[in-house]
Amino acid sequence: EDYNDTTPRGWISLFLIMAAYLMKDVIKGAILIYRATRLVSFRLFVGGITLVSVTSFAFLTSYFYNQAIALSDTEIITNSLILLFMTDFDEWVYQLIFFVSSNWLEKMSKEALCYERRLDNTEEDALIVQQDDVDSFTEEPSTNLSLFKYLWFVW
């Protein structure tokens, strides 16, 4: 017997929830890809492709997961919200780092901004970069922070 009581309304709800929640990441990824083509930056291009790919993967995972186990519209919505809840983990880590060490995070943010301005030397405010920001960017990063800095720059 088939106990599947899903309706098109449940699948439309899934699509709307996922689109509303994930659209910001698709837009950010598209902006990164656009900037990468404008600045000829492989790093920005990889970051944009990664962001769009991870977002697409989250959508597809939710769809196929619900296709496999959801028996009702309520389960479709519940399962998709649980998966979206889990995708917020990286933002929680960012907030935790901000809470624990806001000075360090502010320094990393300045270094990322300095790096971006150095890539995009067509903007006028590239000249405004303070010398201490440039010096802190050119210092050799410690080994335990280099992965975080790479991920931060890509993001």
Quick: pLDDT tens for 91-130: 787 788 777 877 887 887 788 778 777 766 644 444 444 4
Quick: pLDDT tens for 15-39: 999 999 899 989 999 998 998 888 8
Nearest to 64, CA basis, from 76, 55, 49, 72? 76
pLDDT at 124: 45
pLDDT at 109: 78
Q: Distance (Å, rounded) from C-alpha 67 to C-alpha 80?
A: 11
Q: What is the CA radius of gyration of the chain?
A: 20
pLDDT at 144: 41
- Can you state the angle between helices 89-100 and 73-87, rounded to 10 degrees? 40
**pLDDT at residue 155 greater than cutoff 60:** no
Average pLDDT over residues 142-147: 44
pLDDT at 66: 92
Q: Distance (Å, rounded) from C-alpha 112 to C-alpha 133?
A: 10
pLDDT over 90 percentage in the chain:
26
pLDDT at 134: 42
Quick: pLDDT tens for 37-90: 888 888 888 989 999 998 999 899 889 999 999 999 999 999 988 888 887 777
DSSP state of 140: P
